[in-house]
C-alpha cells in the first residue's frame, strides 16, 4: 500500500482578467501524494459583488474510456443516493454522483470528488463529450445553481489516483482541504457501537407511529438500553419517539413533526435518565421529510432540550425527493442547511449521524461532531422496498466508491437473515432479505468504516448467538488501515488496527462467487504471537439457502503466517487478532 503523506504543494494561477470591465478570478492548485485538487477563488473586486452561477464549466477530459462504477444523479423523482450501482464505460454514462470511481483501460484508478463544500451546490457529474465530464450542480427551486458574493471560493475539485483498486484508500486529501477543528471541547464526541429501535420497523415487527405495535415505548427503549449495556455497545437509537409519524408524513414534508414532543407511551426524560444511569448514549432520531423550515425553526429548542436531558447524539433523516420549497437534495440550499445543523449541534455538544444526507466532503475535520452518515443504499434496503434487497456484490462496490468519501453508517449485523423473527415470517424467494452469510455480516464491521456502527437487528435475534461475540469485540475507531486485496464488485480484504488497542481485525467479503483468498499477516508486530479468532463461512454455507452455517475457532499466528480464507457465495470472514501476553 502506498503511504499517503499530507504535505502538499501549492500553485496559484490568475486565469481571467479583462481590461474593459476588469474582473478577476484565480485557480488554486494543490498537489498531494495521491492526487491533485483545484478550486476557483473570486477575490473582492469593484466590478463583481453579488453574483449567480448558472453553470460551472470545469471539464474533466479523460485520455481513455475507463470503466466507471456509478449511481445516477438528477433522476426524475428520485433525487437520492440510495441506488444500486451500475458499471459501464465512461462513454455510456449520463449524469452520476460523486465520488466517481473509474478504472482506466491503461491501469490506474481515478476518483473524482470534491472537498470543503460549505456554500455551493454539491458536485454531481454529467457527461458532455464521449470522455468528458462536467460538474452538474443541482439548482435552487428557481433554477439558479449557486448564489454568492465576492470574496468567494468554490469547493475543491479533487482527483485521486492509485495504481490499482486495492491501493485506493479514503484519501486524507479531502480532510486536509478543510479548515481545522473548530470545536474547543470534543469530549462529547465518542466513536461507538449501538443498537436501536429501527430494524423492527423496516422488517414489520414495529411501527414508527404510536399504536399497538409501536416500537418506541418507554419499556422497549429500556430493553434496548439494557441490551446495549450488557454487551458493551455504548449507544441506543430510538426512532418513532416523537409525534408526527401518523398520516402522510412524506407527502406533507413532515409538517406534523415535533422534535421535542414525545408520543404518550414514550417518556423522554425517563428513558434519557435510564440510559445515562446504564452508561449508554441515547441517540434521538430527527426525521425531517425535507420539511427544512419546520426543522430549522425547532433546531435550537430541540437541541437545548436534548442537552438538558444529557442526550448528545442525534440521527437525522431527509426522506423525500425535494424540500417542501422544491430545492434539490444536493443544491446550495441543502448544503447550507446541513452546515447549519452541524454547527448548531456543535454548539449544544451534540453529534450528528445524517441519513439521506449530502455526500461527505471532509467537513468532519472542522466539525468532528459530524460523525457519520448514510449517502448510499444501506442495509435497510434488505428489509423492504420492492426490488429485492442489495445483491451480494453491493458492499464490494461500496468499499471502492461511496466509502472513499468518508465513513458510512451502513447498519450491518443482521443475524436473522431471512427476517423470520423480525417480521414474523421468513421471506419468500425473491422478497427482500439479506443476501449474505452470517460471517459476511460480521466482516462488514471491519470492511465498511464508520466511527458509529449499529448492531442493526432486533435484539431478540442476538440471543444465544455465539457469533455476536465478534460484534461485542470489534473496534469502531482505527489507527491504521491496510487494504490487503480487492477488485471492485468482486471482493475485498481489509485489515485495520484498533485505535489505542494492540488488536487487529480483518474483514473479507465476496460477491455471489465463492473465493479462496490468501492473507499474509506481515502487518503484525514481528516476533510476537497473536491469538486469531476466526468467524468463517461453514463448508456448505451459501447466502441463498444456507446463510448461517459458521465455523468459529481460534489459533496462534505470527507476522510470518499466511491465512487461507474460504468465502462462501455471498459470504465473508471476520477475524480478531490479539497479542498473546
Compute the least distance from the CB of residue 104 to its own copies, in Å: 9
Among 129, 151, 279, 424, the residue binding its own copies under the rule CB under 8 A is 129
Q: Nearest Cα to 475, choosing from 494, 453, 457?
A: 453
User: What is the chain's alpha carbon radius of gyration, rounded to the nearest angstrom?
Assistant: 24
Distance CA 465, CA 101 (A): 38
Whether 463 is a known active-site residue: answer no
- 380, 393, 503, 533: which one is catalytic? 380
Q: Which of 152, 138, 208, 193 is nearest to 470 (CA)?
A: 193
The correct pick among 85, 224, 367, 445 for binding its own copies (CB under 8 A) is 85
Task: Tell which residue, 563, 552, 485, 551, has the closest CA to residue 524.
Answer: 563
CB of 392 to its own copies, least distance (A): 8
Rule CB under 8 A: is residue 87 a binding residue for its own copies?
A: yes
> Taking CB under 8 A as the rule, which mask of x and - marks residues 364-403 in contact with its own copies?
---------------------xxxxx-x------------
HSE at residue 428, side-chain half, CA atoms within 13 A, is: 2
- Shortest reach from residue 29's CB to its own copies, in Å: 22
Q: Can you tell me the distance from the alpha carbon of 323 to that of 293, in angstroms, rounded to the nearest whole number?
A: 9
Q: Do residues 473 and 501 make contact, with C-beta atoms less than 8 angstroms apart?
A: no
Taking Cα atoms as reference points, which of 278, 276, 258 lies closest to residue 313?
A: 276
For the CA atoms of 576, 450, 289, 383, the dihedral, rounded to the nearest 10 degrees, stands at -20
Residue (35 or 392) nearer to its own copies, CB: 392
| 435 touches its own copies (CB under 8 A) | yes
Span near its own copies by CB under 8 A; candidates 86-94, 168-176, 325-333, 494-502: 86-94
Task: Using the rule CB under 8 A, give the single segment among 21-29, 65-73, 168-176, 265-273 that binds its own copies.
Answer: 65-73
Among 67, 261, 307, 340, binds its own copies (CB under 8 A): 67
Among 73, 90, 438, 458, binds its own copies (CB under 8 A): 90
From 28, 31, 84, 229, residue interacting with its own copies (rule: CB under 8 A): 84
> With contact defined as beta carbons under 8 Å apart, do 12 and 153 qualify?
no
Q: Which is nearer to its own copies, 214 or 427 (CB)?
A: 427
Structural contact between residues 202 and 240, judged by C-beta atoms closer than 8 angstroms: no
The rounded distance, in Å, linking the Cα atoms of 408 and 392 is 18
Contact between 59 and its own copies (CB under 8 A)? no
Q: Are strands 370-373 and 351-354 parallel, antiparallel or unpaired?
A: parallel
Site membership for its own copies, residue 426 (CB under 8 A): no
Closest approach of its own copies to the CB of residue 399, in Å: 18
Comparing CB distances to its own copies, the nearer of 101 and 298 is: 101
Helix axes 332-347, 292-308, angle to 10 degrees: 10
Q: Cβ 547 to its own copies, closest distance in Å?
A: 13
164 binds its own copies (CB under 8 A): no
CB of 212 to its own copies, least distance (A): 30
List 92, 126, 309, 552, residue binding its own copies (CB under 8 A):
92
Under the phi-then-psi rule, with left for phi > 0, alpha for psi from -120 to 50, and beta for the rest, what region is 56? beta
In Å, what is the CA distance from 198 to each residue of 255, 408, 449, 453?
22, 17, 21, 14
Contact 124, 97 (CB under 8 A): yes
* CB-CB neighbours of 5 under 10 Å: 10
Instruction: Report d(CA 320, CA 440) in Å as an integer.
Output: 31
Among 33, 321, 325, 512, binds its own copies (CB under 8 A): 512
- Start-end of H helices in 114-255: 173-176, 199-203, 218-230
Strand-pair partners of 431: none
Q: Which of 26, 58, 95, 105 binds its own copies (CB under 8 A)?
A: 105
* Segment contacting its own copies by CB under 8 A, of 37-45, 63-71, 258-266, 412-420: 63-71
Is 86 one of the binding residues for its own copies (CB under 8 A)? Answer: yes
* Binding of its own copies by 81 (CB under 8 A): no
Question: Minimum Å distance from CB 93 to its own copies?
Answer: 8
Minimum CB distance to its own copies, residue 204 (Å): 18
By beta-carbon proximity to its own copies, the closer residue of 195 and 485 is 485
Interaction between residue 429 and its own copies (CB under 8 A): yes
Output the nine-digit C-alpha cell for 184: 474547543
Check residue 544 for interaction with its own copies (CB under 8 A).
Answer: yes
Residues annotated catalytic, as ranges = 380
User: What residues line the site for its own copies (CB under 8 A)?
Assistant: 62-65, 67, 72, 83-92, 105-107, 129-131, 385-389, 391, 429-430, 435, 512, 544
Amino acid at each position: 500500500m502506498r503511504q499517503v503523506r499530507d504535505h502538499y504543494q501549492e500553485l496559484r494561477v490568475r486565469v481571467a482578467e479583462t481590461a474593459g470591465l476588469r474582473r478577476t478570478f484565480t485557480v488554486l492548485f494543490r498537489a498531494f501524494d495521491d492526487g491533485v485538487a483545484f478550486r476557483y477563488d473570486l477575490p473582492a473586486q469593484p466590478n463583481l459583488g453579488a453574483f449567480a452561477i448558472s453553470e460551472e464549466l470545469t471539464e474533466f477530459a479523460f485520455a481513455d474510456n475507463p470503466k466507471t462504477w456509478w449511481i445516477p444523479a438528477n433522476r426524475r423523482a428520485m433525487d437520492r443516493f440510495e441506488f444500486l450501482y451500475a458499471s459501464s464505460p465512461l462513454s455510456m454514462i449520463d449524469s452520476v454522483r460523486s465520488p466517481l470511481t473509474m478504472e482506466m483501460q491503461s491501469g490506474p484508478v481515478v476518483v473524482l470528488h470534491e472537498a470543503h463544500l460549505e456554500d455551493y451546490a454539491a458536485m454531481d457529474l454529467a457527461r458532455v463529450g464521449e470522455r468528458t465530464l462536467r460538474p452538474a450542480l443541482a439548482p435552487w427551486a428557481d433554477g439558479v445553481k449557486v448564489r454568492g458574493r465576492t470574496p468567494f471560493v468554490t469547493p475543491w475539485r479533487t482527483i485521486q489516483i492509485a495504481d490499482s483498486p486495492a491501493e485506493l484508500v479514503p484519501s486524507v486529501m479531502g480532510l486536509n482541504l478543510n479548515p481545522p477543528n473548530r470545536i474547543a471541547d470534543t469530549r462529547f464526541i465518542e466513536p461507538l457501537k449501538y443498537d436501536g429501535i429501527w430494524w423492527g420497523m423496516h422488517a414489520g415487527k414495529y411501527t414508527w407511529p404510536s399504536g399497538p405495535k409501536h416500537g418506541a415505548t418507554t419499556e422497549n427503549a429500556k430493553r434496548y438500553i439494557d441490551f446495549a449495556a450488557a454487551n458493551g455497545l455504548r449507544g441506543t437509537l430510538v426512532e418513532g419517539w416523537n409525534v408526527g409519524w401518523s398520516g402522510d408524513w412524506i407527502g406533507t414534508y413532515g409538517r406534523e413533526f415535533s422534535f421535542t414532543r414525545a408520543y404518550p407511551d414514550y417518556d423522554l426524560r425517563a428513558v434519557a435518565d435510564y440510559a445515562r444511569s446504564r452508561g449508554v448514549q441515547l441517540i434521538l432520531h430527527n426525521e425531517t421529510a425535507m420539511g427544512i423550515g419546520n426543522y430549522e425553526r425547532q433546531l435550537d429548542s430541540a437541541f437545548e432540550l436534548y442537552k438538558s436531558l444529557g442526550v448528545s447524539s442525534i440521527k437525522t433523516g431527509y426522506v423525500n425527493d425535494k424540500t417542501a420549497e422544491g430545492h434539490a437534495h444536493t443544491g446550495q440550499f441543502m448544503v447550507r442547511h446541513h452546515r447549519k445543523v452541524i454547527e448548531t449541534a456543535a454548539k449544544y455538544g451534540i453529534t450528528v449521524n445524517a441519513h439521506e444526507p449530502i455526500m461527505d466532503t471532509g467537513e468532519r475535520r472542522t466539525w468532528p461532531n459530524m460523525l457519520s452518515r448514510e449517502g448510499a443504499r444501506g442495509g435497510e434496503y434488505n428489509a423492504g422496498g420492492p426490488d429485492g434487497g442489495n445483491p451480494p456484490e453491493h458492499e464490494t462496490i461500496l468499499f471502492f466508491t461511496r466509502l472513499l468519501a468518508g465513513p458510512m453508517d451502513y447498519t450491518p449485523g443482521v443475524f436473522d437473515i431471512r427476517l423470520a423473527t423480525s417480521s414474523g415470517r421468513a421471506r419468500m424467494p425473491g422478497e427482500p432479505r439479506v443476501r449474505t452469510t452470517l460471517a459476511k455480516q460480521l466482516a462488514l464491521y471491519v470492511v465498511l468504516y464508520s466511527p458509529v456502527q449499529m448492531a442493526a437487528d432486533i435484539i431478540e435475534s442476538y440471543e444465544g448467538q455465539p457469533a455476536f461475540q465478534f460484534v461485542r469485540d470489534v473496534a469502531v475507531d482505527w489507527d491504521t488501515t491496510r487494504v490487503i486485496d480487492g477488485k471492485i464488485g468482486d471482493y475485498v480484504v481489509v485489515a485495520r488496527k484498533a485505535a489505542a488497542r494492540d488488536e487487529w481485525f480483518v474483514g473479507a467479503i465476496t460477491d455471489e462467487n465463492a473465493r479462496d483468498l490468501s492473507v499474509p499477516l506481515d502487518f503484525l508486530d514481528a516476533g510476537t504471537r497473536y491469538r486469531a479468532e476466526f468467524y468463517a463461512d461453514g463448508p456448505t454455507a451459501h447466502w441463498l439457502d444456507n446463510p448461517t452455517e459458521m465455523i468459529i475457532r481460534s489459533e496462534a499466528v505470527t507476522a510470518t503466517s499466511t491465512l487461507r480464507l474460504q468465502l462462501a457465495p455471498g459470504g465473508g470472514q471476520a477475524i480478531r487478532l490479539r497479542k498473546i501476553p
